[in-house]
Amino acid sequence: MTGSPSPLSTTTVGDAGVPVVFLHGLFGQGRNFTQIAKDLQPEARSLLVDLPNHGGSAWTDRFDYVEAADLVAEHLAGGVAAAGPVHVVGHSMGGKVAMVLALRHPDLVDRLVVVDIAPAAGGSLGEFEHLLDSLAALDLSTVTRRSEADEQLAEHVHDARVRGFLLQNLRPDGGTFRWRANLELLRRELSTIGGFPDLGDATFDHPVLWLAGERSDYVRPEHGPTMRRLFPRTTLVTVKGAGHWVHSEQPDVFVTALRTFLLAPG
């Protein structure tokens, strides 16, 4: 590999329309939203962001939501948001980054969509701990094809869809593979990733759509008061038949929700 990763690697889908920024969750990459972005065309021009320690973006020495949000803010202010605020959609970890971004830099964000995460600590961290341990256990020195990694991972992760999502983080490196995501840091900082920073009295008084998966426990009734204190113009919608990965499990419903909330006139 030559050169150094960019602080934030991004991809643009579409060349016209309302700017929409997508922030992915743990293990994800901006490209996870490629089809969603295409489905929003031609009304939207989407920026797909690789968050720090993921995809093509640079690795860091620690995980910090404020630092990540400020990095995204700097990138947006010098680019897609230079002419005015943009819509932001964030899933899971990316949803927390999106919330911190809106609270700290409200001038950059028009409307906000938070997907299956709450501004609180908790959720099924044990699941992610298991996935991180399973990925770390793979012996990449013996892997020459992605299918071989899939075979090894299948011993610990039985859902083929989840394995396919995780193995998108594998990148060819000579005759073998390496991880694009900073797995060691993500595992070490998992409790921080599962938390949410105290931002004092900050609030975001723009419209917010809060999408929760019906079969997920990341958004619970007790989270409502905090969400509405920080984001007083919040509308909560529960997506039937969806777990944590709402956009991949119910993509048609997800696109319809985004179109109605972000792109409808008026």
Examine the domain organization and report whether 163 and 97 are in the same domain: no
Question: Does 148 reside within a domain?
Answer: yes
The domain total for the chain is 2
Examine the domain organization and report whether 156 and 258 are in the same domain: no
Examine the domain organization and report whether 75 and 105 are in the same domain: yes
Select from 187, 209, 240 the last residue of a domain: 187
Give the ranges where 2-145 is alpha helix by DSSP (H).
Answer: 34-39, 65-77, 93-104, 125-136
Examine the domain organization and report whether 33 and 116 are in the same domain: yes
Burial 102-125 (b: 16+ CB within 10 A, else e): bbbbbebbbbbbbbbbbbbeebee
Radius of gyration in angstroms for the set of CA atoms belonging to the chain, rounded to a whole number: 18
Question: Does 3 reside within a domain?
Answer: no
pLDDT tens per residue, range 133-147: 999 889 998 898 999
The residues that are catalytic are 92, 184, 244
Examine the domain organization and report whether 79 and 140 are in the same domain: no
Nearest to 94 by CA among 35, 168, 8: 8
Question: Which residues form the domain of 166?
Answer: 125-187
Mean pLDDT check: name the lowest of 11-25, 42-56, 122-136, 236-250.
Answer: 122-136
| Position 264 pLDDT exceeds 90 | no
pLDDT tens per residue, range 68-99: 999 999 999 999 999 999 999 999 999 999 99
Question: Does 192 reside within a domain?
Answer: no
CATH code where residue 93 lies: 3.40.50.1820
Rounded Cα–Cα distance for residues 32 and 39 (Å): 13
| Position 105 pLDDT exceeds 90 | yes
Examine the domain organization and report whether 212 and 104 are in the same domain: yes
Q: Which pTM value belongs to this model?
A: 0.94
Question: Does 193 reside within a domain?
Answer: no
Examine the domain organization and report whether 238 and 131 are in the same domain: no
Examine the domain organization and report whether 133 and 244 are in the same domain: no
Examine the domain organization and report whether 142 and 157 are in the same domain: yes
Burial degree of 246 (CB within 10 A; 0-12, 13-18, 19+): buried
